[in-house]
Amino acid sequence: METVVVGMSGGVDSSVATYLLKEKGYNVIGLFMRNWDATLNNDIEGNPTLNNNICPQEQDYNDALAVCNELNIPLHRIDFIKEYWDNVFSYFLNELKLGRTPNPDLMCNKYIKFDLFLKEAKKLGADYVATGHYARIKNGKLLRGIDDNKDQTYFLAQVPKENFKNIIFPVGDLKKEEVRKIALSINLKTAKKKDSTGICFIGERNYQKFLHNYLKPNPGDIVDVETKKVVGRHTGLMNYTIGQRRNVGISGNLERHYVCGKNVEKNILYVAFGEDSKYLESDACIIDNINFISDERPINCTAKFRYRSTDIPVKLTYLDDNTIEVSYPDMAKAVTPGQACVLYLGEECLGSGIIKLVKKNGEKLWYL
């Protein structure tokens, strides 16, 4: 009997994945990862500060344990707190210091879930490793999940190709409502549990207050990108992302506005006013940290610049082994340095790069 080690998160997706694997006759073992110390954080001076209302990891573990007990399989637990800090959280903070918008979920998958976790699973005798991701692997290719609304290949696109060997995604061929239906039909503890949202180590806490535990606030001017006039004060560039329209910090001005750029050296946040979002538009970007999962190296394909964004047709110009210029003459909005550009050829996820700079009409956007 072949052994599958399942990454148990305490959510409904990994719970159903575990059930489906057991139904197929595998010897199933659960493994729960603890990646964040939810009881203590350090402030900007390095002093520990106790936090409440944090990411409920212990509840997640208890839910995972309850499911494993219901399915009569063992559950192991492993801490990757230091490794997560070194490879994911430090990256997150460093990107914010550069004025970029990082995506820690991609790095968590790359360095933790599909690296360290795989090694730990092998110690438990795994022939295969499974997770509750909405994705599929067929003939060595990473394919989108059947449920377009839940497809998670975007978050897997920085994982090295070789790390997908012997990986199973049991819910990738299902829609979310089918997963819920299965969980309800067998009365799993997690059947009605809400999906987690946002960044796990922040949880339900205020984003800015959380960041201030680690990065010293550095207020500065908010400048109108057209008039170059100061129109307000920001609380620190790390607190804003390109395209943001709410809580920008321009008091007394009711005209619609949005964040369109940052100057880290001068500590300036640029905003544009009005409904016209031309300052969010670009027609090309440069991506680096290239990771190809596929053997394909197309000139023409499609790309996603954010998880919930729509695929757009792009042309790839390979500048070197680790740098690609991605062109999209039909324009795209809010393409943001630090985010991932994930490439697709139909259903197949080809891989990704991290957006380094954004261009329009052949020139780098000066306000980004």
Give the whole-angstrom CA distance, residue 233 versus residue 246: 14
Identify the three-state secondary structure at position 242.
coil
Q: Does the domain at residues 3-185 carry the CATH identifier 3.40.50.620?
A: yes
Pairing outcome for strands 348-360 and 340-345 = antiparallel
- Please choose, from the candidates 192, 203, 171, 142, the residue with its C-alpha nearest in 3D space to the C-alpha of residue 13: 171
pLDDT score recorded for residue 117: 97
With a pLDDT cut of 70, the percent of the chain lying above it is: 92
pTM: 0.92
Q: Which residue has the tokens 């012997």?
A: 166
> For residue 28, what are the CA distances in angstroms to 7, 21, 131, 211, 341?
11, 7, 12, 39, 35
pLDDT (tens digit, 9 = 90+) per residue, 31-71?
Answer: 999 998 766 555 444 454 444 454 467 889 999 999 999 99
CB of 75 within 8 A of CB of 30?
yes
**End-to-end C-alpha distance for the chain, whole angstroms:** 55
CATH 1.10.20.140 fits 281-364, yes or no: no
- For 141, phi then psi, to 5°, come to -105, 145
Alpha-helical regions (H) of the chain:
12-23, 57-71, 81-84, 90-97, 104-108, 117-123, 153-156, 176-185, 207-211
Q: Which amino acid is at 157?
A: A
In the chain, CATH 2.40.30.10 covers: 281-364
Q: Average pLDDT, whole number, for the chain?
A: 92
What does the pLDDT read at residue 50? 45
Q: What is the pLDDT of residue 311?
A: 95
| Residue 364 φ/ψ, nearest 5 degrees | -65, 135
Domain 217-273 is of which CATH architecture?
Answer: Roll (2.30)
pLDDT in tens, 140-175: 999 999 999 999 999 999 999 999 999 999 999 999
- 45: CB partners within 8 A, 6+ apart: none
pLDDT at site 198: 67
Confidence band, pLDDT 50/70/90 cuts, at residue 213:
confident
* DSSP, res 348: E
Q: Which residues are catalytic?
A: 108, 200
Domain with CATH 3.40.50.620 in the chain: 3-185
Give CATH 2.30.30.280 domain extents, the chain.
217-273
Quick one: pLDDT at residue 49? 47
Alpha carbon distance 32, 25 (integer Å): 21
What's the pLDDT tens digit per position in 82-129?
999 999 999 999 999 999 999 999 999 999 999 999 999 999 999 999
